[in-house]
Amino acid sequence: MSLLLLLPLFFITFCVFFKFIWIPLRIQLHFRQQGIRGPTYRPIFGNSAQIRRRMIVEAESSRPISFNHDGVVQRVMPHFHNWSKAYGDPFLYWFGSKPRLAVSDPDLIKEILVSKSGSFGKIRFNPVSKVLFGEGLVALEGEKWILHRRITTQAFNMERIKEWVPEIVDSTRNMMSKWDAKIGANGSEFEFDVHKEFHDLSADIISRTAFGSNFEEGKRIFELQERQVMLVLQALRNVYIPGFKYIPTEKNRLRWKLEKETTELITKVIEKNENTKQNPNTLLAFLMRPYKKDDTLTHEEIVSECKTFYFAGKETTANLLTWVFLLLGLHQEWQNKTREEVVRVFGDNVFPCVDNLAELKTVSMILNETLRLYPPAVMMMRQASENVKLGGRLDIPAGTQLFLAMTAVHHDPRIWGEDANEFNPMRFSEPRNHLASFFPFGLGPRVCVGQNLAMVEAKIVLAMIVRRYTFVVSHSYVHAPMQSLTMQPQYVFFKLVWNPLRIQRHFRQQGIRGPSYHPIFGNSIQIRRRMIVEAESSCLNSFNHDGVVQRVMPHFHNWSKVYGDLFLYWFGSTPRLAVSDPDLIKEILVNNSGSFGKIQATPDTRVFFGGLMGMEGEKWIEWIPEMVDSTRNMMSKWDAKIGANGSEFEFDVHKEFHDLAADIISRTAFGSSFEEGKRIFELQQRQVMLVLQGLRNVYIPGFNYVPTKMNRLRWKLEKETTELIRKLIEKNKHRKQNSQTLPALLMSPYKKDDVIPLDDILSECKTFYFIGKEAPAHFLTWTFLLLGRHQEWQNKAREEVVRVCGANAFPSVENLAELKIVRMILNETLRLYPPAGLMMRRVTENVKLGGRLDIPAGTELFLAMTAVHHDVGTWGEDANEFNPMRFAEPRNHLASFFPFGLGARVCVGQNLTMVEAKTVLAMIVRQYSFTISPSYVHAPMLSLTLQPQYGAQITFSKRS
């Protein structure tokens, strides 16, 4: 029995040994005997880990290169660059257990690509990467490839491409119209990322010419393919394990989802073409029309070809145009020659016509030189389908993959001369002698079928733009070519290193300094680990409030001492300008131009900040009886404690006021009670720490989808909260009562078409549940702490309540406005301990602030509310003391006191908070006197709101 078990095990072990060790070592020895060396084979994964981890990552995270193009090969093919230096050309390396022969000899490349014997075929696609191209022309072999090639060659013949020229012109004209609008808005010059512009343009052109639609109709397909690119790129850089694509990993599930939606959308495009019978000259129409009687593509094959053309038709031309304009922006003399040729060839015609495109000789030279320096594909791959002799001397075993180093050939000084790494279109003034020294679209029978369209499109776009505009490369551009699936400019370095340094310099030239930028995380680690943790681990020695700023905004407190009140720091790669000048704050918050918007919440922090809290002033008044009732219930519990404990009792008012505010918001906003909403408050309390971590850490795009322990908890809490609030909304909808509750008001349209979607109502309710509890609870806590400390103001408040409310034990709607001293006390509390502690805004466009500061778009503005509220220059020498008399008269400066914000985005719930605070304070101060307990520790802490870190212990006694 044991022998029967051992035999299969021995057989499997032998097969693994034979496939992953014996055969590779034998092939490695075979090549070494022919003088071909390379990095040593490593079982199973070969050299793939070295390529991926060390070389590609190192190259793409390295410093940018100079714009004389001599570092292109090193950046886009780092493994070839390193190993060719070490082992010569050709050399052998391993991708998994597959041998790859790297070739950069034009004679050998020509022999491989032009061969018609079938000895060199396409390498098999990693099954995971097929989502982008399907079973289209790019992946096919044999008879199927011949059929597809025959049909697509006819579809892309030159006569048909000429019929598409008006569509190309029209798309380009639309893009230029948008540019002209920018000139009208910004003056004679404007700067933008042409890479994005040309991607959108190419997408529109391929949508029109190939599918008879436009960019907007195909936008979702392009978005899906953009997301698929990263998945495909990861798959191409990793060794594929057979069967892995069927395992429901997170990436595979995403891959299946994207593939399904892409296929469905393309199917709809195909059906639309079939039904309308329009645009007979589109590529799609030609694919659906049989070339001969039996030359018909199946529906699945048409879908696969459409995927290929949607992707390749956009990427190739967009990247070509990007590189062309960067090169002409750098080489003004060639830009001028291009312009002169376009004017000479087309004369008075503003737009190019088909007949004389062939006359654009200089344009052709420039495009070819661009393709030489920055070819779309950077390399090509083939596989020996049988044992073959290459170049009359090299014995290549069947199954060997051939890495054809196109970019290295295009930059080789032995072929192109000493100026091989310089931009010199004159080298294409005459035909090339060697066919395989320049092959950006391939060679032989598998040459790119769409090359004519790409060249015609590039000529037309270049001719139209160069005639109307002059252009230069912006100082902000960083030269960092990167190989994705095509060669394109890499902007990650620009965003994470170069751009921050440029912005830092921009501010320093205006006299604004700050802590130095640290790549990727900025100063966030200093703020989080050193300053906040250190501040929250200490307590204030006294209750005179002069250490509040240091505790709740330690980074502002420390850096403002070193760099001044206006300084720059970094949260990730985003610049933050810290502002505490009331004049500048007023300009930012009261501005109605849209230049200063809200910063965008990350997916980690949206749980509380999705809604607007969108109700208006007079609604709150109708809720006062509910506030009175909730407060009365709380005080009844206190009275019960007095009966049990004597005339005095002590407890943590922070917790009491949280429960009270929760009950009030449940009754007033949702027509329920604290007990009904208790689970929602518990869930939100657990979410607070997760959101706080999200706010203090730099968000990495996509990280919220990774199933970490925290993310799984976040998803679980969010799901349960949403379900509970949804039930509450349904309950409100069915019973048709409490028409003044928040869900009822949100669900009843203000005008006929002003209906709020359910998701927005859910967001509003989440926000209201959280803010409607947190803000009043902390506000009341600080008020009672201050009045417990300052008995004279407690007495004044009590006297005013008795005088205004008379014999009524509870305040009424009519006399709340008469509580002047109470209002002064509440305002002074909000000054010393504002609920939010700070405010954030984001600059949406380049703007001049205060008539002198140039603020770049994207800069975040940290408005140091607590610092302004404690500023001795604004409030006098007693700024850190409790003195409600400073609010006896209206403030002269609007932005010296803004606990609820200012301008259009002022907190819409401030009236509710103030009414609730007045009502509760009036009821309690009338029936109780209170002092701060000796056990209280003064330690203000900024969580999502400003609150006491260790609670608020107060001793109460019942008044007779």
Measured in degrees and rounded to the nearest 5, phi and psi for residue 812 equal -115, 170
Among left, alpha and beta (phi > 0; psi -120 to 50; other), residue 891 is beta
448 is in an annotated binding site: yes
What is the Cα–Cα distance from 83 to 403, expressed in whole angstroms?
13
Contact between residue 675 and residue 667 where contact means Cβ atoms under 8 Å apart: no
202: Cα within 13 Å, side-chain hemisphere: 29
Residue found by looking up tokens 């006062």 in the block: 624
* Closest alpha carbon to 789 in 903, 647, 932, 897: 932
CA dist 955 → 597, 635, 654, 788 (Å): 45, 14, 13, 9
> Which contiguous run of DSSP H or E holds residue 132?
helix 130-133
What is the Cα–Cα distance from 22 to 30, expressed in whole angstroms?
12
Using alpha carbons only, what angle is made at residue 384 by residues 379 and 389, rounded to the nearest 5 degrees?
Answer: 110
Residue type, 696: R
What is the Cα–Cα distance from 264 to 267, expressed in whole angstroms?
5
Q: How many CB atoms lie within 10 A of CB 596?
A: 23
DSSP codes joined into one string, 308-363: HHHHHHHHHHHHHHHHHHHHHHH-HHHHHHHHHHHHHHHTT-SS--GGGGGG-HHH
The two beta strands, 401-404 and 98-103, are parallel
The two beta strands, 574-579 and 860-863, are parallel
**Strand runs labelled E in 773-876:** 839-843, 847-849, 853-855, 860-863
* Closest alpha carbon to 73 in 409, 328, 381: 409
- Structure-token pair, residue 128: 């995971």
- Structure-token pair, residue 103: 């070739």
- Structure-token pair, residue 53: 């981890």
* Closest alpha carbon to 662 in 633, 703, 640: 633
Measured in degrees and rounded to the nearest 5, phi and psi for residue 865 equal -55, -50
DSSP codes joined into one string, 623-683: GHHHHHHHHHHHHHHHHHHHHHH-SEEEEEHHHHHHHHHHHHHHHHHHSS-HHHHHHHHHH
- Structure-token pair, residue 589: 């918050």
Burial class (CB in 10 A: 0-12, 13-18, 19+), 328: buried
- Helix then strand then coil, in percent of the chain rounded to 5, is 60, 10, 35
SS3 730: helix
Contact between residue 823 and residue 811 where contact means Cβ atoms under 8 Å apart: no
* Closest alpha carbon to 217 in 203, 201, 232, 198: 203
SS3 395: strand
Annotated binding site for heme: 448
Binding site residue list: 448
